A and B are shown apart, each in its own frame.
Chain A
Amino acid sequence: MAANPMVQFNVYRIGPEIKFGNIDLSFTNASLFMLISASIITIFLYFSTKNKRLVPSKIQLISELLYNFVAKMISDTAGSKAKPYFPFIFSLFVFILICNMVGMLPYSFTVTSHIIVTLVMALFIFIAVTIIGFLKHGLKYLSIFVPSGVPVVLLPLITIIEIISYLSRPVSLSVRLFANMMAGHTMLKVFGGFVISLGLVGGWLPLSFSVALTGLEILVAFLQAYVFAILTCIYLNDALNLHH
């Protein structure tokens, strides 16, 4: 393996080059690992719910726990109005979670450590939430930019600040996930490199760090998926229940 800790983030083409005009649509290792994550989810959920039983088997229990976890998260943060959006948030949460977890396996590739992947997801959520807000409330949705109880003199300034705060949502959402995943994986690689270069004599200390970091990374992988999903719920809540 290469010693450079950033090599693990390289995207390379697998198979033939596919081009439509200027757009490169070739199958890359990133697409491969997205496909792997999606198939893991599909196969798991299919087999765990195939033989439905009142007293669930172990594998059915896991998928039921997952379902309940997301359902509770949505009803806690966005209320009952958000029920129709359950499938989307569930898929989003599980996809990010499995992508992060697949990335924890040695020799694999972390899809979510690329800002373009997280940015596309965040922008999709941002645009969808904005459209939902306008569909539900019409032009009254613009009132989220105008907080109540502000002096008229300050109103233009506050409105600009609110608009920037609103526009910063997709940026903070995507940067958070991407930065956490990339920093964690770089750190793991750096400590792994220390183990090799220090050898049998001094390699034990970085090795123990590496073990601890792996545990931390698994926690972060879960937590970031959770934060991403719960922020989606919060934004959805802002759009569905307009209040100040």
Chain B
Amino acid sequence: MEDKEDFKTRLKIEKNRLEKLTFKSENKKGLFLGNALKLGTELVAAVVVGTIIGFILDNWFGTKPILIIIFFFIGFAAGILNVVRTAKNMQKDNK
């Protein structure tokens, strides 16, 4: 019986210690590296998707070079939007 009580208090102490530990050691260095790797593809992917959409629409309407150019730039804008959003999220995590 005494053993059990002893064990319970020790468990409690250990739990408290662990909670503090995880709270303190929440350095997000790994997360930052992940975010840094994220930004590049974020931009490229939107440009690629925009260009593909432009290409498909061009084939549909038969307006060969016009829509692909327009959608390339729209895709670029979407890419910038993605990057800005990711950067904003990073800042929010930082605080």
Contacts and interface: CB of A to CB of B under 8 A. Distances in A.
Nearest to A180: B37
Nearest to A160: B74
Contacts of B49: 164, 167-168, 171
A223 B37 contact: yes
B69 interface: no
Q: A167, A169, A226, A234: which has the most chain B beta carbons within 10 Å?
A: A167
Interface in B20-71: 30, 33-34, 37-38, 41-42, 44-46, 48-50, 53, 71
A164 B75 contact: yes
Nearest to A172: B45
B87 interface: no
B81 interface: yes
Contacts of A160: 74
Interface residues of A, number: 22
B78 A161 contact: yes
A227 B53 CA distance: 27
Contacts, number: 65
B53 A176 contact: no
Given A223-B37, A227-B37, A172 B74 contact: no
Say what secondary structure dominates the interface of chain B: helix
A198 interface: no
A179 B45 CA distance: 12
Nearest to A231: B38
Contacts of B81: 161-162, 165
Contacts of A231: 38
B33 A172 contact: no
B86 to A, nearest CB: 10
A175 interface: yes
Given A164-B50, A164-B53, A165-B46, 9 more contacts: A164-B46, A168-B50, A168-B75, A172-B42, A175-B41, A176-B38, A226-B30, A226-B34, A231-B38
Interface of A: 157, 160-162, 164-165, 167-169, 171-172, 175-176, 179-180, 223-224, 226-227, 230-231, 234
Interface of B: 30, 33-34, 37-38, 41-42, 44-46, 48-50, 53, 71, 74-75, 77-79, 81-82, 89
